[in-house]
Amino acid sequence: MIMRTHTAVLGGALLSVIPLAAMTQEADRPTAIRVCASTQDAPYSDASLEGFENRIAEVIADEAGLELEMVMIDQAAIYLVRDGIEKGICDVIIGVDADDERLLTTEPYYKSGYAFISREDRGFEGERWQDVDQEGYNTFAYRYHTPAETILKYTGRYEYNLVYQASLTNFEDRRNKYTQVPAKLVVDEVESGKADLGILFAPEAARYVRDAREPLRMSLITNEIVRSDGVVIPLQYAQSVGISKDVPELLDPIGSALKTGRARIQAILEEEGIPTIPLS
Q: Domain extents for the chain?
A: 7-110+238-272, 112-233
Report the topology of domain 7-110+238-272.
D-Maltodextrin-Binding Protein; domain 2 (3.40.190)
Q: Is 65 exposed, middle or buried (0-12, 13-18, 19+ CB in 10 A)?
A: exposed
Asked if 103 contacts 243 with a C-beta cutoff of 8 angstroms, the reply is: yes
Q: Do domains 7-110+238-272 and 112-233 have the same CATH topology?
A: yes
CB 187 within 8 A of CB 132: no
Q: What is the pLDDT of residue 79?
A: 96
What is the β-pairing status of strands 67-73 and 32-38?
Answer: parallel
DSSP annotation string for 18-71? --GGGG--BTTB--EEEEEEESEETTTEETTS-SHHHHHHHHHHHHHT-EEEEE
DSSP one-letter string for 109-141: -EEEEEEEEEEGGGT----SGGGG--TT---EE
pLDDT in tens, the chain (280 residues): 233 344 444 444 443 434 433 444 455 678 999 999 999 999 999 999 999 999 999 999 999 999 999 999 999 999 999 999 999 999 999 999 998 999 999 999 999 999 999 999 999 999 999 999 999 999 999 999 999 999 999 999 999 999 999 999 999 888 888 999 999 999 999 999 999 999 999 999 999 999 999 999 999 999 999 988 999 999 999 999 999 999 999 999 999 999 999 999 999 999 999 999 999 7
- Check: CB of residue 249 under 8 Å from CB of residue 25: yes
Please tell me the distance from the alpha carbon of residue 72 to that of residue 49, in angstroms, as a whole number.
9
Separation in Å, CA 240 to CA 108, 124, 203: 4, 32, 14
Q: Which residues contact 218 (CB under 8 A, 6 or more apart)?
A: 115, 116, 117, 202, 205, 206, 209, 275
Report CA Rg, the chain. 20
Helix (H, G, I), strand (E, B) or coil at 274: coil
β-bridge pairing 225-226 and 236-243 = unpaired
Spell out the CATH class of 112-233: alpha beta
Give the global pTM: 0.89
**203 preceded by a cis bond (ω within 30 of 0):** no
The neighbour count for residue 162, using CB atoms within 10 Å, is 10
Q: How far apart are CA 98 and CA 42, in angstroms?
A: 21
Instruction: State how beta strands 197-201 and 140-142 pair.
Output: parallel
Go through the chain and tell me how many residues it has: 280
Residue 136, Ramachandran bin (φ over 0: left; ψ between -120 and 50: alpha; else beta): left
